[in-house]
Amino acid sequence: MESLQVRPIGPDRDDVVVLAVSGELDYATEQALGDAVARAMGDHCRRLVLECAGVTFCDSQGLNRFLQLRLDLESRGIDLILTGISASLRAVLDLTGAIEVFLLTDTVEDALRAS
């Protein structure tokens, strides 16, 4: 089983956190994503960008983590943008209809320019 990796990308920014997510997002690893996001978020963050090109697998628990994360951030006035989503993650989002509730961009640069 491939473990989940979450690491910061690029320079520190005052109001945006960018994290690369890779590996398998499932019942055994979804908490690690939540923990990594919680550690990375600062008091002034207004946007979280998750670069997901390296996500090789996502089950229902992984999807639930993304959905809960979106709701939690939205309630705090923070945008969540998924960028560069992998084919396997796109398939799960398409199949469940969840793709409609996320802000998606092709690249991190696009996410940083999004208003």
Domain ranges of the chain: 5-113
Q: Which of 1, 62, 70, 67 shows the shortest CA–CA distance to 31?
A: 62
Confidence of residue 1 (pLDDT cuts 50, 70, 90): low
Confidence of residue 25 (pLDDT cuts 50, 70, 90): very high
CATH of domain 5-113: 3.30.750.24
pLDDT per position as a tens digit, 42-101: 778 899 999 999 999 999 999 999 999 999 999 999 999 999 999 999 999 999 999 999
Confidence of residue 12 (pLDDT cuts 50, 70, 90): confident
CA 58 to CA 25: how far, in whole Å?
A: 5
CA 65 to CA 61: how far, in whole Å?
A: 6
